[in-house]
Each structure stands twice: as structure tokens, then as C-alpha cells.
Structure 1
Amino acid sequence: MNEELINNPDLSYQLAEQKAAQYFQSLYVQVKQKTFIPTLTKDIHSWKQNHIHHPILSFFIRGKRKANSNGYYSYIQWLDYMGKLDSYLDRSMSYIYMRDLGKSLESPDTQARVSRVVANLKNHLTQNDANKGDTKNDFSMYGLYRMAQKEGIESTMIWLINKLKRVSSNIPKGMDAEQAQRKLIKIIAGVIMHVNEEMDNDVSSESRKQKLDEAIRLGYSYGLTYPFIDDLLDAEVLSDKEEKQYSNLIRTTLITGTVPKLGEWTGTNKNLIKYIHSELREAFEYIRAHQRPETLTSFFEQSYVFFQSQEVDRLKDLSNPNYTNEELYIPIILKSSSSRLIIRSVISAPEDEGFDHRTFFYGIYNQLADDFADMFDDMRDGAVTPYTYYLKYHEKRPDLINPFELYWTVIANLIHNVYHSDAKTCEVMLDRAINGLKRFKEKWGSQKYNEVMKLFSSRNPKFNSLIQTMVGKADDVDFFDKLLRDHMIANLKNERKEQEKFADTIKIVRKQINDILLIPQSEDNDLMKNPIIDAANYSLESDGKRLRPIITWVMGINEYGLNKSAIMPLLKSLEYMHTASLIFDDLPSQDNASIRRGRPTLHRVYNTAIAELTGLFLTQKAIEEQASLDQFDTKTVLKLIQYTAQKTEDMCKGQVMDLDSKGKKLTLDQLNQMCFYKTGLAFEASLLMPAILAQASESEMEALKKFAYHAGIAFQIKDDLLDVEGDLSLLGKSIGKDAENNNSTFVSVLGKNGAQKAMWDHYCFAVEMLQEVPRNTNFLKHLLNYLVNRDH
């Protein structure tokens, strides 16, 4: 660890502060002299030739344009149709190379790299469009895993998916979960981009896999600081005492290079902090272990500057009218530049003076743009930014710098002093600036936008008039990263709503199914009162998931429009058959299980003979229920019963295969077949039975069969994984039974990592099959997600 930093923790911050103060002073002089006005006026007049079309041409183009660019897929299609996709992607990737990779666009090498990325991205987007639907899954678990397969880093992606799932489930109320997830994914993508840029073209496939694996893990480790340090301290989640204790913990880590023990935590967020502390410690140690000695000092210094500048800003109070311009802007310069400089040290990239120079001067531009976009949200939250502070005190403090003028000053300074008046840089930066104003106007409405412009541009009416003309008339200034950002946020929010709806549906339908399952005692036959019906009800009233009848309920009623009361017998029959199969499965002659659904198995409570008879009884009750489907065509019901008999026969075959496999090592094909007979067929039945009653087409039923096949195997693999790593209190059944019974499982055949890969592969195949089903498949999609992500 850097001894100077330990002995004087503020030394690195003071040095960075001096550099930031010099930069701010140069900007201050330019603002006061208004040098940005003639410079940018000339730039804009040249720039607008490519962005303001003849009125007739504009009318023609708008007639072919979609209503707006909010539709991700349709907008990409439109751009391609109009021949604008290349320029759209070019300015988007050029901007990312400037902002995230610190590159100079005047470099021929950078231009060549941008061109290659644009070509690959365009090919990906247009191919997905041709394949219909694939782009919808780009940032889903499906899309991430399929991308990982192409690079040979499936295990890494499984690790990341599990990590993201845990982070998502631990985002506390009071924080924006969607934004937290988006930022984390964005940081990971940014680190991957940096690593890609550092790789030679002739890097071996093995070396590439290793570097991508490290990039993903480093990206996650660094990105985790945003939701669990930056966002957490900004949100009103922790008490004042907890915030202070937590900040001290972070500061100590950065100063000493070691994560201290959590110690006693007396606040109400103890469990949250315990999880965060454990996760951040693991992340911190991974980053440190992958640092080269020569970059370790830089990493700690930049990290401390970033954290300290954030803390300085965070402690500001909007009610304080006495902050100087330096106090407002210097921390912004520091945090905006150091956040990007850290990435280079995180990946142990060699020093690049040009990158450091450009990134340091560039950071404040991005921060001012973000603060402008979030101005009213920040004002509502009482956050101190240059814009909120100016809004509140501009009438009382004539000495305050107008942040909007500083924003244009920074742009002019970057174009002409940092990027040497490069034409491509000028084009991209003006595109971005006008696009930012357009988005602000669209978000807040014309009236509020005009009020803001009147305030911030009051001293420069001529320049403002030019800007507003560009905002109103200029076209082709939007960016792919913004489209992607909006798309991701919309998807994450929609995904959360769908998950909540899925959980509510499961809860509501499960209760209604539970209410109809128990079998009444026969009043005419005293012999049946004890013990068969009691034994059957003991098994039925246990804490079962009821997944199969729930699937049938949702598909039958919601998708096929079947009458609720008409299919009640079918729902009961499914659960009777499933419960019977579990009773047989648990018998001493088969798996000899002692716990099922959190309770002793039936043969333990009664005896083996009663358990066997109860299983037989429930099987016949299932057929009886199906035969009572009197609101459907008799031929259709007969077809349903025939299907049931065939599938029951196949399930028995699967159980025989299972019993015969004990002590033997099965091939993967044998395991897949046995698993489908034992598990997949039950999923198939729950899907096919309502489809048969609704007289669905053969092609639809074939797609449902294939979905059930892959979903069933994925379900069984997850069961096998839980048997070796699950929690007994959550599972409701004993763990380690497969090994105890010497059963061949996906884990024993493929190993834990291989089983995980196989599960995700079947998951992906199942997702692809859903695209062939001509119904709303959201419920099945979330069911599939539940099957592979469950902990019981």
C-alpha cells in the first residue's frame, strides 16, 4: 500500500484538487470573456448544413419516420430503411470512444476501430431484425448466455447472472432498482470495452476467454460500488449514524488497502450492510489481486479522490447560500474524471498520457450534461448541483457562474483546445449537445423547457436563438447509447412489473387450487374413512408448489379462454397425478425419502402398504375427474384421457429407468430421456391438456411440447444442483439423497459446472421455443425464470 497515502490520506486529494483548480480557473476566464459564443456560433453554422434539411425534404422524411425513437426495434428498422443507420451508429460509437475510452477521433487508428465496431454492430442489429425477436433478448438472461457461448465464457456468465440476481434482490426500498441494475451493467460493458481495446488482434482464443472472464469480474467488482456506495449514500436508506459509520469503513479501506471487519452494527439496516460488506469485500479483494504493482498505487489514489470528491459534494446543503464557484465545480471536475481514470487502473492498463489528459478535461462535460438532465429531480431531492444552486440563488448571487454558459465553454474548450479543432469531434459533440436539449424538452415539456432557457440564456439572446433553432429544426442528432439506455430501463421496469404479476398470479391461483383439492370422506362407506382418504389428504394438503395445475389454469383460462368452472376437474386431476407420483417416488423400494414438502413422507406417517394404495387411489381419482369434464365435446375429452394414459405410461417408464440406473453411470442422452419421462412430461401435460380442450393447432402443440421438454430438463438439473448445494429449510426435503442413493444425476454425470451450463442451454432452447407459440407467453417466460433461479 502507498505509505504516503496511509500517513497523509488527503495528500492525493490535495494534489488532484490543485490540478482541478487550475482547470477550473482556465474555464472561468473563458466564461467571463464569453469566448465560447463566437467560436461555437461559427462551428454551429458549419455543422447545421448536415442537420437542417430543406422544408420539402424534411416533410418527406418526417412522413416516413416513426412517431418517435422510443421504439427500439422499429426505430432501428426505420434508420436502416432510410439509409441512416451507418451514420447513426458511427456518431454513437465515436462518442463512446471519446467518452468511455478516452480516444481522440482525429487518430486514424481510432477511426478504423470505430468503423469495425459500427460494421459489427450493424450486422448484429440487422441480422436480429431479420431473425425477428432475437434483439428482444439481448440483455436478458437468454441473450447474455447466448453471447457468452459465442465467446466460450459460459461459466463466467452464469456467475454474473447469479450475482446480478442477488444484487437486484438486495436493492433496498428508497433506491431506484432499475437504475442501479442499468448502471452496474453499463460499468461491466465499459470495462469489457477497455479490455477489448487493449487486446491485440492476434490474441489466442484461450487468452481472449481469460481476458473477457477477468473483464466481467472486474467490471462487476468495480461497478458494485455505484449501487452499494454512491447510490446508497445518496439515498435516504441509512440513518445519519449508519451513513457516518459506513463512510468511515469505505475511507479506511481506501487508505489502508484492506477491508476492515464490519464490527458491531446497531442500525436497522444490519442485514443489508452485512450483505453489502461481504460482497464489496469480495469485489475489492478481486480487484486488488488483479492489479499490477505499478498500477496499485494509482488505483487507490484515484479511488480515494473519487470517493472524497463524492463525499464533499454529498455533504453540501442547498440551504447554504455561501458556496463559492470553486466549491461547486472543483469536486465535479474531480469525481467526473477520476471515475473514468479508475477503470484504466482496474484493468491494469499501461499508462497512457493522452488518455489521462483527455479524460481529465472531458469529465466535467459529461457531468454537467447529466446534471442538466436531472435538474428538477435533483431540486426535488434537495441535492446541490451547479444547476440547482444557480436556480435557487442566481438573483442573490451575481458572482455565481451560469452553469449553462460553463457547459458551452467546456464544449468549445474540448473541441478546440483538447481535440485540436478536429472536425469529427466537433460534429459528434454538437450532435450530443443538441440531442441533450431535445431530450430535456421532450421529458419536461415545452413550457418548462422555455422557462429554463429563458433563465440560463438571458444574457446571450442571439446565441440562444441559434441554439433553439437547432433544437427545433436539427435532425440526425440522436445516439444509440441513449436509445439503448431507455430501452434497458423500460425493459427492467416492465420485467419487474411482470414478475410481480407472475408472483401475484401464482399466489392467487395456488390458493384457489388448494381450496378444491381435498377429497371429502364418503358418507356411504365407512371403510374408506380410514385411512386412504386421510392419507391422500395428508399428501395433498402439504406445502406443494402446484406448478402444474397453475400452468394449466393460466393457459386454459387466460390464453385459451376456457371457462373457469369447466376446467376445475382438470386442475384437480393434474395435482392428484403429480402427488401420486411423489408418493411412489418416496417409497422405500424406490428413493426411500424421509421428507417431502417439508413434512415426513407418507409411508413414514402411515406405512408402505397405505402409501402404495393411496398413490393408486389418487391416480384413479385423476381419471375420474377428467371423465367429468362434461362441458367439452366428448371426443375431445376422450382424446385428453388417451393422452393422459399415454403420458402416465411414459412416466412409469421414466421411473423404471431411474430405478434401474442406481449404481450405474448413465450417458447424457440416457439422463435426458429419463429426466424428460420423469419431469418434462408433467410440464408437457399441464400445457397440452388445456391446448387439447381448446383444440389448438398441431404446430402450436408441437412448440409447447418442445418448450416443455427443455423446461423440464432445466427444472430437473436445478433440482440436482439444489440437492448438492441447497438449503434444507428452504427445500423442504433432504439434501444429498441422490449421492446417498447412488443415483446418476446431471451433477454426477457433468460435474457442477457442466450441469449449470446444461441447465442454461436448455433454458435458452425453451426461450426460443416460446417464440413459436402464438400466444402471450409472459407467464411461461417468468415460470421458466423461476424454475432456474429458485432456491427450493
Structure 2
Amino acid sequence: MDEELIKKADTTYRMAEKKAADYFKSLSVQLKNKTFTEITKDIQSWKQNHIQHHSLLSLFYRKKGKPDDQEYHDYIQWLDYTGKLDDYLDRSISYIFMRDLGKSLNSPDTEDRIKRVVINLKKQLTHSATTDGGKTEMYSMAWLYRMAQEEDVESTMIWLIGKLKTVSSYIPKGMDADEAKRKLIKIIAGVVIHQVEEMGDEISAEERTQKLDEAIRLGYSYGLTYPFIDDILDSEVLSDSEKKQYSELIRTTLITGTVPELEGWTGNNKDLIRYIHSELSNAYNYIKAHLRTKTTDSFFEQSYVFFHSQEVDRIKDLSNANYTNEDLYIPIILKSASSRLIVRSVISASEDEDIDSNTFFYGIYNQLADDFADMFDDLEAGAVTPYTYYIKYHDKRKDLINPFELYWTVIFNLIHNVYHSDTKVSEVILDRAINGLKRFKERMGDKRYNEVMGLFAPGNLKFNKLIQNMVRKANNVDFFDKLLRDHMITNFNNERKEREDFLDTIEMVRNQINNILHIPKVNLQSFMKEPITDAANYSLEGDGKRIRAIMTWLMGVNEYGLDKEAIIPLLKSLEYMHTASLIFDDLPSQDNAPIRRGRPTLHQVYNTAIAELTGLYLTQKAVEEQASLVQFDANTVLHLIQYSARMTADMCKGQAMDLDSKGKQLTLEQLNTISFYKTGIAFEASLVMPAILAGKQELEMTALKKFAYHAGIAFQIKDDLLDAEGDEALLGKPTGKDVENNNSTFVSILGAEGARKAMWEHYCLAMEVLKEVQHHTNYLKHLLNYIVNRDN
């Protein structure tokens, strides 16, 4: 590596280190003089708004019980009904403007921006919590896509959803995939917020769309560094030698401005590092290509300072008793400030000394608060932070600074020296500080909390008593970003467990269905040959997804409580009918497909006549099975058979429409109709037939039909995309058949990008319909996710 470049990078870091050292020296002097105790005056004024004064309305809700703040929707509604939502959002957005945007709160322009954000956010939150009695999950795929539609960046959001899915799949054991996804979304949101503030209101719709598209992609590109640099180097995934090699690769990139080739990497993590290297290279080059000349130096300087300060902290050993206070605090000042300053350079924001200064001085506040909250996890991991080091060596090293006292010193410094005793700043920072302690106490329990305070509490007894009194009594200090963080973590955890349960259930039910499909062969006289049963079993034994029969099982058994043995004939009938439709579909007179389910199609193995007869045979076997539902009321079974016959007739019409359309340019409406008749009807039958057996009302069935309509079209669009872009090995059938057969598809009509948008629109519509379904719908939600994310 060029020695001049190394020298330049080292000089950059030393300059940043000198600035951080000066800041730390200033804080140390203030701490020595116990200036933090002077914040007592601010707290005395602040507490007037935070000691409970009950209104009649709040007393009413108090009797009902305040919702847990992790019950996201209920908590928002409670805040709204008790008149607390406006203040709650105001302090939350004000905090984001300070922390993330580096803004002072006393300018009229910032005040106006905060008010507008609060109004819009309140409207969205109260609407999502009450619409149709349903609950729109923020940061769910449907929510993200709907938000993207409003800003005309749907294609970008589709790209991002795909990226998040891939990144999650590559997070190795020993790291938290949900936390990685949450961090990525948080950073993307942060970059978008910065971009929105930079571009202002006087901007054309086209330019706004372009800048938001760039912000999302830049946010993803920058956000990748957290799971794939910071987190992976903090974990035990890589060996010590691999960490050294990987760190050197990152360092070389930041010093030279060019990503080195990945050479000489061996061992168990080779495939992981190859993916990370490729993805980070693309992300880095995307950022680099979008940097303006005036911000390029700033980006590389801040990035190097951030990375190197992280490395300095990472190699610290908790068993080393000789670290100075400067060793402990200067790197965290650097990394906490530079991590946020990078965002401004990433989006090529205009220079603003006030924002840069505020961001620099504010960073350590956040870092000390985070390290306090995580001290026991860090201690268990052997990580060196001001808190873990103080816990281990405070009784041996009287020179060590108490990090909790420094935390309050930083708060005093921010309020009075950085933000010039601004009342709003004092309110927000003290809200945040007390809220952090309350959350910690709730999580740790009174006993553990008191032990911690016994060690870290400031030496001034009067000051500490005031702080603890506020922790016990103060209210209205919680923040939306914390609520959202908890909500996202809960959702991700629940979704992961539900998804695992869903996939396990699918596999279990698929195996059960595979075991019941075989049709016994009736012995005829020796001179008679009967290939139909063998042909039927050949088709049934293919590696089918069994998705329709699985849907029926899930709805029938899990949702409606039907006896799993009693509905076996229904499961068999659905799979017989579906397999028959595939046999007909593959015939030379129709699609003339050579491969189905990874094997030669039936007419290739036997002949066209046998294939036609086998298809007819299976349709009749399906009716026979339905008539065998002996544990249900006869009229109910008759109703089901009548419904099934209508659906089968409609499917035939749909196939005829499809055949007639070959070589013709269809409209989107015509294609939607054909898709529903070909695919949606089968989905509908899979949901409605168990509902019929369960005696459900028409209103429930109407909602299921609407869901099936959109899910079926989404399924067909995904099929068209897979035919155009999929992996033949994963699909188990040739790709490109639609083009070869000159078929009109969603891809041929809308293009690949338009088809993806249409698929996600139907996905959202299907998700929204689930609000109308009376029963638990998690399985249907995961079914939809499976449909749009599948690879075969």
C-alpha cells in the first residue's frame, strides 16, 4: 500500500483524535468541578411537567389500566385518548432532529418542521390503529410497499425487500439476523430523513422521487457496514486470523479508495466472505459513484475515523488493568460522532458547521446511554466499555472516571454549553435520560437496579436522591423511537417463530399428504392391461408443493378445528384435481411441456391418450373422495360437491381462455381474468371448502374469496417472473417456455419491473383483505410471503 496514503489516513485520525481529546479534557474539568450537580436547577424546573397530575380522563383510563408500551397499537390509542400523544410525538421528533440531524431546537424553521412532522405522523398512527378495526404493522412488507407507492419509489422498495431477504439469509449462526435487519432499516430511515431535510419542500416530484430512490439505496449501502463489518468483527464467527485479514481488507479500501480483490481466503467462512465482499463492494462503489467532489474527502475521512476508532476499541482486553481514561473515552467520542457525520457526506449534504459541531458533541451522550443499557451483556462478552471497565477496576483504580457521572456531565454540557440553556433542549434531553433509567430499571428489576446505582450513583447524595426520585415518580418521558424499536424486535421475533412454525407445519402436512395420495391398483384378469392407475400414481408421486391441499389443512385443522382424519378425503380430492389439471395443461394440444415437477411429463412417459384418460380418471377420483366425507352432514357435503363442480367447470373455462389467448396480445384485465380462473379459483376452493365443512357464514367466505383472488394472481405473476428469470434447477422445469410458446404473460405485458409491481400490489390487497377474515390469519400471511418470495 502507498506509504503516502497511509500517512495521510494516520494524520486524519490524529487530527480527529486531538479534537476528541480536547473535548474529553473539557468534560473532565467539568466533572472534576462537579458541574453536573448544577443540573439540579434544570431538573427542579423540568419535574413540574412530569409528576403525575390526573385529569378525569386519565383517571378513567388509569382504572382501566395503562397499556403496556410494547402493545404498540393499544399504547398509541391510549396516548391519543388521554391527550398525551401530541407531547409524546413532539419530544420524540425533537429528539430525532437533535440526535440524527444535528439541529438546534430554537430556530423557527426547525420548530415549523417538527410541527409538520408531528401532525403527519399523528395522522398516520391514529389512522393505522383504527382503520377497519385492523392493525397495520409499521415496517411490515405491505406497509413499506404502500409507503413507497405514495412516494413513487415502488421499484426501489421491491429491490430493498429482496436485499433484506438475502442479507438475512446470509447472517451466520452466532449473529442476530433480526437485529441486523432492524439496524439496516433504522439506518436507511435515518439517511432518508437526512435527504428529506436537505431537499426541502421546493422540489419537483421527479427530483424528489430520484433523491428518495438514491437515499434508500445509499442508506442500504451504508447500513450494510453494521452487520457485515462491525457486528461480524465483534462476533465469534471469524477466527482471529480471519478477523485480521478482513480488517486489513476494509482498511485498505478506506485508505486507497478501491476495494481489493478477495484473494487467498480459505476455511469454513469462504462462501460467507465471498458474498459479503461482493455485496459490500457493490455498496461501496454505489456510494462512491454518488459522492460529490466537495464531500468525497469528508466521506473517506469520517469513514476511516469511524472504522479505526472501532478497531481501537475492539482489540481492548478487559483483563488489561492499565487503560487510561483517555484510552476508554476518546475512541467512543470519535466513533459515536463520525458514525452520524458519515450520513451527511453519504448524501452529499451541504456543509453546516453548526450541524457538524452539534453532532460531534452529542455523540458521546448516546454512546454512554447505550453502553449503560448494555453493560451486563458487554460484561458477559468480555467487551471493554467505560461501564464494564469501571465495574471490574473501580476498587483498584481510584483514578478511573465514573462513566455515570460523566454521562450527567455530558448532559449538563449539552444543555448549557452546546445548546446555550435552551428550554426545549433541556426538556428533551432530561426526558431521554430519565426514560433510559426507567427502562433499565424495568428490565433489570429493582434489586439489580439498586445494586447498579450503588456502584455508579454520583457521589453527591442530594443529586442522586433527586435523580432516583424522578426515576420512581416521573411520567411522560417515553419516546416513539423506543416504542418502534421494541415493536419491531417483537414483530421480528414473532414473525421468525411463526415462519419457522409455518414451514415446519408445511413440511409435516406435505409428508402426510404424500403418504395418502397413492391409489391402490385393482387386480384385473391377467390378460387385461390397466396402465391408468400406474400413470395416475406416477403423476401424483412427483415432487409437488401440495400448496392447495396444505392451505386446506391449515384452514380446516388450525383455524376451524376440523378433525384432521375426517378431512383426508378432501385433501386427496384437491390434489387429484390439481394433478389432473397439470396433466391436461402439459398435453401437446395445450402447453406441450416436456418436464413437470422435475420429471418427464406423463404423455412423454406413456402417450397422449393415456395422459388424457388419466386426467379424467383423477377428476372422478376427486369427486369420489369428496363423497366419502362421511363424518360431515350430508347436505354440507352435497353443498361442497356442488361448489367443487362449479369451480372445476370454471377452471376448464379458464384453461380454454388461456389456450385461445396464445399468440394474442392480451390486456391486463384479460390476463387477470385468466389468471384467476387458472390459479385463483384453485386457491379459493382450498380456503372455501374447509369453511363450508365448518359451516362458516357467507361474509367469511366472501373475504376468503377476495383473498384467494389476489393471492392467486400474485402466485401467477411470480410464476411468470420465475419462467422469465428463474433457476431451472430450482424450478424443476425449463424456463423461457412462455416466450417459446408466444404466451401473453404479466412479464410480456408489463415488463419484469411492472410485473413485480403488480405482484406486490396484489400482495398488499390480499394482506388488507385479511382484516375482514374473522379467524387467526398468521398462516395465510406467511402463505402470501411464501408465494412472493419463493424460488420455485
TM-score, normalised by the number of residues in structure 1: 0.98
Contact 1:583–1:611 under 8 Å retained in 2: yes
Could you tell me which residue of structure 2 aligns to residue 743 of structure 1? Answer: 743
Could you tell me which residue of structure 1 aligns to residue 137 of structure 2? Answer: 137
Could you tell me which residue of structure 2 aligns to residue 301 of structure 1? Answer: 301
Contact 2:358–2:418 under 8 Å retained in 1: yes
Q: How many residues align?
A: 791
Contact 1:706–1:769 under 8 Å retained in 2: yes
Could you tell me which residue of structure 2 aligns to residue 74 of structure 1? Answer: 74
The answer to whether the aligner puts 1:384 opposite 2:376 as a matched pair is no
- Measured in 2, the distance between the counterparts of 1:34 and 1:277 equals 49
Contact 1:4–1:11 under 8 Å retained in 2: no
- Measured in 2, the distance between the counterparts of 1:680 and 1:124 equals 33
Could you tell me which residue of structure 1 aligns to residue 616 of structure 2? Answer: 616
- Measured in 1, the distance between the counterparts of 2:104 and 2:332 equals 23
- Measured in 2, the distance between the counterparts of 1:218 and 1:317 equals 34
Measure how far apart 1:55 and its partner are: 8.4
- Measured in 2, the distance between the counterparts of 1:677 and 1:363 equals 59
User: What percent of counterpart residues are identical?
Assistant: 73
Measure how far apart 1:233 and its partner are: 0.6
Structure 1 counterpart SS, 2:590: coil
Measure how far apart 1:640 and its partner are: 1.1
The answer to whether the aligner puts 1:447 opposite 2:447 as a matched pair is yes
Q: How does 1:670-681 map to 2 (within 5 A)?
A: 670-681=670-681
| Gap change, CA 1:55 and 1:395, over 3 Å in 2 | farther
| Gap change, CA 1:771 and 1:421, over 3 Å in 2 | same
- Measured in 2, the distance between the counterparts of 1:31 and 1:260 equals 45
Could you tell me which residue of structure 2 aligns to residue 50 of structure 1? Answer: 49
- Measured in 2, the distance between the counterparts of 1:466 and 1:4 equals 55
Measure how far apart 1:136 and its partner are: 3.1
Q: Which letter maps to 2:40?
A: T
Q: For 1:721-762, what per-residue CA distance to the aligned partner results, in whole angstroms no more than 9, with x for missing partners?
A: 000110011000110000001000000011111100000000
- Measured in 1, the distance between the counterparts of 2:212 and 2:109 equals 22
Could you tell me which residue of structure 2 aligns to residue 89 of structure 1? Answer: 89
Measure how far apart 1:36 and its partner are: 1.0
Contact 1:242–1:267 under 8 Å retained in 2: no
Give the RMSD, CA atoms, in angstroms.
Answer: 1.6
Q: Which letter maps to 1:185?
A: I
Measure how far apart 1:628 and its partner are: 1.1
- Measured in 1, the distance between the counterparts of 2:356 and 2:388 equals 30
Q: For 1:318-349, what per-residue CA distance to the aligned partner results, in whole angstroms no more than 9, with x for missing partners?
A: 11111000000000000000000000000000
Q: For 1:5-58, what per-residue CA distance to the aligned partner results, in whole angstroms no more than 9, with x for missing partners?
A: 455321111110011010000111111111111x21111111111111358999
Q: Which letter maps to 1:52?
A: I
Q: Which letter maps to 1:407?
A: Y
Give 5+ residue unaligned stretches, structure 2: none
Contact 2:318–2:383 under 8 Å retained in 1: yes
Measure how far apart 1:375 and its partner are: 0.6
Measure how far apart 1:3 and its partner are: 10
Q: How does 1:20-35 map to 2 (within 5 A)?
A: 20-35=20-35
Measure how far apart 1:527 and its partner are: 7.2
Q: How does 1:578-657 map to 2 (within 5 A)?
A: 578-657=578-657
Could you tell me which residue of structure 1 aligns to residue 479 of structure 2? Answer: 479
Could you tell me which residue of structure 1 aligns to residue 412 of structure 2? Answer: 412
Structure 1 counterpart SS, 2:9: coil
Contact 1:2–1:297 under 8 Å retained in 2: no
Contact 1:577–1:618 under 8 Å retained in 2: yes
Could you tell me which residue of structure 1 aligns to residue 460 of structure 2? Answer: 460
- Measured in 1, the distance between the counterparts of 2:15 and 2:202 equals 40
Contact 2:365–2:410 under 8 Å retained in 1: yes
- Measured in 2, the distance between the counterparts of 1:568 and 1:347 equals 59
- Measured in 2, the distance between the counterparts of 1:353 and 1:688 equals 64
- Measured in 2, the distance between the counterparts of 1:575 and 1:527 equals 32
Q: For 1:139-180, what per-residue CA distance to the aligned partner results, in whole angstroms no more than 9, with x for missing partners?
A: 111000011111111111101111111111111111112211
Contact 2:67–2:75 under 8 Å retained in 1: no
| Gap change, CA 1:106 and 1:134, over 3 Å in 2 | farther
Structure 1 counterpart SS, 2:593: coil
Q: How does 1:116-135 map to 2 (within 5 A)?
A: 116-132=116-132, 135=135
Contact 2:134–2:771 under 8 Å retained in 1: no
Structure 2 counterpart SS, 1:566: coil
Q: For 1:71-125, what per-residue CA distance to the aligned partner results, in whole angstroms no more than 9, with x for missing partners?
A: 1111111111111110010000000000000000111111111011001111111
- Measured in 2, the distance between the counterparts of 1:776 and 1:60 equals 31
Measure how far apart 1:129 and its partner are: 2.3
- Measured in 2, the distance between the counterparts of 1:782 and 1:234 equals 33
Contact 1:86–1:122 under 8 Å retained in 2: yes
- Measured in 2, the distance between the counterparts of 1:134 and 1:8 equals 57
Q: Which letter maps to 1:515?
A: N
Q: For 1:240-281, what per-residue CA distance to the aligned partner results, in whole angstroms no more than 9, with x for missing partners?
A: 111111111111111111111111210211111111111111
- Measured in 1, the distance between the counterparts of 2:74 and 2:509 equals 36
Contact 2:98–2:104 under 8 Å retained in 1: yes
Contact 2:132–2:771 under 8 Å retained in 1: no
TM-score, normalised by the number of residues in structure 2: 0.98
Measure how far apart 1:528 and its partner are: 7.5
Could you tell me which residue of structure 2 aligns to residue 542 of structure 1? Answer: 542
| Gap change, CA 1:322 and 1:521, over 3 Å in 2 | same
Contact 1:72–1:487 under 8 Å retained in 2: yes
Could you tell me which residue of structure 1 aligns to residue 669 of structure 2? Answer: 669
- Measured in 2, the distance between the counterparts of 1:789 and 1:271 equals 22
- Measured in 2, the distance between the counterparts of 1:718 and 1:66 equals 45
Contact 2:67–2:78 under 8 Å retained in 1: no
Could you tell me which residue of structure 2 aligns to residue 112 of structure 1? Answer: 112
Contact 1:98–1:105 under 8 Å retained in 2: yes
Could you tell me which residue of structure 1 aligns to residue 150 of structure 2? Answer: 150
Could you tell me which residue of structure 2 aligns to residue 228 of structure 1? Answer: 228
